[in-house]
Amino acid sequence: MTERDGPMSRVSRRHLLRGGASVLAATALSTRSASALGRMAGTPDTVVNVVDLGAVGDGRADDSGAFEAAYSYAAARVSGGVGRVVIEIPAGEYLITRPHALLNGVAPPRPASGLRFSGAGRRMTSLVFRPDSGPGSFLCRNQDVWSNLSFERLQFRSATPGASFFDSYSTGQAQDYRFSECEWMGEWEYGLALSGTDTNSEMRWEACRVGGRYRRAFLYSGLTREGQQDPNDQDQFLNYWFTDMKVEYEWGNFLEFPYGGSIACRGGSYIITDRRPQSPEYGTTSTFFRFPVARHHDSVQRFHAQDIRFEVRNPDVVVIDCVWNSGTVHFSDCDDTAFAYRDFSADVRPHRYTVGPRGPLVRYDSCQLVGRHEYRPAAAPDPLPVLARYDMCLLRSHTARDFVVAAGTDPVPFVQFVDCVDEGNTSEASRPATPSSPSTPPPCLAPGQSPSPSPAPNPTPGTPTPSPEPTPEPSPASAPVPQPATTPAAGPAAAPGTPDAPLPDTGRTDCSSPPRKAP
């Protein structure tokens, strides 16, 4: 650039280059964007509106330059490691064709904390990403530069099948992302792909909608980069929270974590509406929660799902497939029985685990469950301890006896059911003893029952019951002293000459004669 460029030249030096934008990106700025940045150069503005930088928002004009300018300005305003800018995106449909136009976090600057992208509403403000090619093209990238990133009230839509939303690489800096009232649509390879060796942690999604299609997964943790020596370093990727979500997409995986973990999903509806096209790695299966690697560092293998309604619309839908060799998996007050009326539902296996001597420990509390659950015991020299427990659950399709499928193990001693209701009314472990038929009176009176005498043995229909007192009533003077409080167990009428003292309670409820039905 030359001095005749005037304000543009000064903005490029003070903001674009210091913010880490390349000279190529700077020259790509529209005249309107350059003019706006020139006016803002000497002002302390903390909010930058992309429309002021030349964005049109009509879905046809390419607004990539306006978004690149907005990010460059925000990067230039980092002071003392803290960001100072909110990028405001009004209602409209903004076409973006260049990768990394929304966020291009490459060093310098390093490090930076605090950048917010704010829209008017998740369908009111729509960012349409249409790069020339899909795989390998990301709308955002953060290469160990930013923490404390916030996206709110925005829709992101892939118009090029196989493009990806966010590439997050971290060796310790990238962390603390928050998505609030956002939506994803279109066909993506990755929603967010996490890679690196440390952090990439503490990420939160609140009241968001995940739609579209995913060739791999919406959130993929543990993408191994070329030259990475130990993928288990990515087990430092921890703490992901999903609250009040509407996860309703066509096919693909929602969460796939080869590495990393400690995940909590609370509230919402999780639905897969279609079948995945045939894939070499996944077949036609789509999985909400996929944890495909056994060995991890401590404190990583933890998953919790609570108050979620799942829909298993076809046999290729899997809720969870976990091969962890330790850790905990907990479902509380969840329901996947919405399609239990369909013919295929009894045979589906939407929950699948590989288990070994150290787990994972699996627990279901107050859940309503369809189909069967599959447990694949890992090779072990000794019988497995109790690893799975179902407490006060409804087993919609089967009895507890045949609810669990475990290869080579029948019955399955490492799975327990406590106070569950199943297809046979109650689970084996909690089924009470069968009560006596109402038409068959008990042969003897148990403690606490009415003291009225039982019918005599071998009654003849139509014949009055004989009196149980064959001998005269003893006089009051010779009557025994009444026994306190307890009622003696009833027995046959006393024979003449037998003392009238109560018999000891031996716990027997049977009589000397076999009972018969009353007339």
Q: Are residues 91 and 167 in the same domain?
A: yes
Contact criterion met (CB below 8 Å) for 191 and 212: no
H or E element at residue 268: strand 261-272
Based on the fold, state whether residues 142 and 264 are members of the same structural domain.
yes
Mean pLDDT, residues 243-250 taken together: 98
CATH of the domain at 278: 2.160.20
Share of the chain above pLDDT 90, in %: 63
pLDDT-derived band of residue 511, with 50, 70 and 90 as boundaries? very low
For residues 156 and 260, the model is more confident at: 156
406-459: pLDDT as tens digits: 876 667 899 999 999 998 765 544 444 344 444 455 554 455 555 554 444 454
Give the global pTM. Answer: 0.76
> Residues 327, 303: one domain?
no
| End residue of a domain, out of 432, 460, 490 | 432
**Predicted confidence band at 380 (pLDDT cuts at 50, 70, 90)?**
low
Over the stretch 87-144, which tens digit does the pLDDT of each residue have? 999 999 999 999 999 999 997 667 899 999 999 999 999 999 999 999 999 999 999 9
State whether 347 and 301 are in the same domain: no
Residue 16 lies in a domain: yes
pLDDT digits (tens, 9 = 90+) for 15-48: 333 333 333 334 445 555 655 655 555 555 699 9
Examine the domain organization and report whether 270 and 358 are in the same domain: no
Same-domain check for residues 295 and 334: no
In a domain, 508, yes or no: no
Distance CA 303, CA 407 (A): 24
pLDDT on residue 45: 66
Whether 123 is in a domain gets the answer yes
Residue 494 has pLDDT above 60, yes or no: no
Domain end: 383, 402, 432, which one?
Answer: 432
Structure tokens at 88: 């405001």
Q: Are residues 282 and 331 in the same domain?
A: no
State pLDDT tens for residues 301-340. 999 999 999 999 999 999 999 999 999 999 999 999 999 9
Whether the per-residue pLDDT at 259 is higher than 50: the answer is yes
What value does the mean pLDDT take over residues 224-244?
80
Residue 467 forms part of a structural domain:
no
- What's the pLDDT band for 497 if we cut at 50, 70, 90? very low
Average pLDDT over residues 390-405: 95
Last residue of a domain, one of 300, 316, 332: 316
Chain segment 159-181, per-residue pLDDT in tens: 999 999 999 999 889 999 999 99
488 pLDDT exceeds 50?
Answer: no
Do both 359 and 266 map to the same domain?
Answer: no
Are 221 and 256 spatial neighbours (Cβ–Cβ below 8 Å)?
Answer: yes
Whether 517 is in a domain gets the answer no
Does some domain include residue 489?
no
Tell me what the pLDDT averaged over the chain comes to: 81
Residue 476 pLDDT class (50, 70, 90 cuts): very low
Considering the domain architecture, whether residues 377 and 257 belong to the same structural domain is answered as no
Residue 96 lies in a domain: yes
Task: Tell me: do 176 and 296 sit in the same domain.
Answer: yes
**Which domain covers residue 363, as residue numbers?**
317-432
Residue 17, CA distances (Å) to 27, 109, 111, 142 in order: 11, 10, 16, 17
Alpha carbon distances (Å) from 517 to 69, 439, 510: 92, 7, 15
Which of 222-226, 387-391, 447-451 shows the lowest mean pLDDT across its residues?
A: 447-451
**Do 48 and 75 reside in the same domain of the chain?**
yes
- 290 domain-assigned: yes
156 vs 231, which has greater pLDDT?
156
What's the domain count of the chain? 2
Q: What is the DSSP string of 78-140?
A: -BTTB---EEE--SEEEEE-STTSSEEE-SSS--EEEEEEE-S-TTTEEEEE--SSSTT-EEE
Same structural domain, 374 and 286: no
pLDDT at 298 (0 to 100): 84
| pLDDT score for 23 | 34
